[in-house]
Structures are given as structure tokens and as C-alpha cells.
């Protein structure tokens, strides 16, 4: 499981790479990892997705 600081860093980097699509990319990765049976990795990607959503704010999505 990622530490909170690492999850925040990954969320920031993903947003820098793909911009507004970052939340969708993180959600897709979470789903792929879940299907592959990688629960911990899926949970990490879900945390990253949530961080991205929180940083986006209430009126940007």
C-alpha cells in the first residue's frame, strides 16, 4: 500500500502528464488491477483517483 505522501505525489504527476483526464486514467488503472486480481494495487489507484478528485474541487467535474 502506498503511503499518503506517495499517493499525493503520484496523483500530482499523473495530473501533470494527462491533465483533466487524470481521474479517468486512475479509475481505469484501478479497474484493470482489480480484474487482474491485484487488490492492493487497485486500492492504491483508487486512492490516487480520490486525491485527484479532491484537488479538482466541487465544480470541475
20: which DSSP letter? G
How many Å separate Cα 55 from the centre of its chain?
11
pLDDT at 57: 74
φ, ψ of residue 60 in degrees (nearest 5): -120, 25
61 part of a folded domain = no
User: Which residues are CB-contacts of 39 (< 8 A; sequence separation ≥ 6)?
Assistant: 33
Number of structural domains the chain divides into = 1
The pTM score is 0.90
For residue 18, being part of any structural domain is answered with yes
- Grid coordinates belonging to 46: 483508487
Which residues constitute the domain of residue 20? 4-56
Helices (H), 1-61: 4-18, 22-35, 39-56
Under the banding of pLDDT at 50, 70 and 90, the label for residue 61 is: low
Q: Is residue 12 part of a domain?
A: yes
Q: Is residue 10 part of a domain?
A: yes
Amino acid at each position: 500500500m502506498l503511503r499518503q505522501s506517495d499517493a499525493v505525489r503520484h496523483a500530482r504527476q499523473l495530473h501533470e502528464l494527462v491533465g483533466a483526464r487524470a481521474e479517468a486514467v486512475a479509475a481505469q488503472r484501478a479497474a484493470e488491477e482489480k480484474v487482474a486480481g491485484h487488490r492492493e494495487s487497485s486500492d492504491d489507484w483508487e486512492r490516487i483517483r480520490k486525491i485527484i478528485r479532491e484537488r479538482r474541487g466541487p465544480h470541475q467535474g
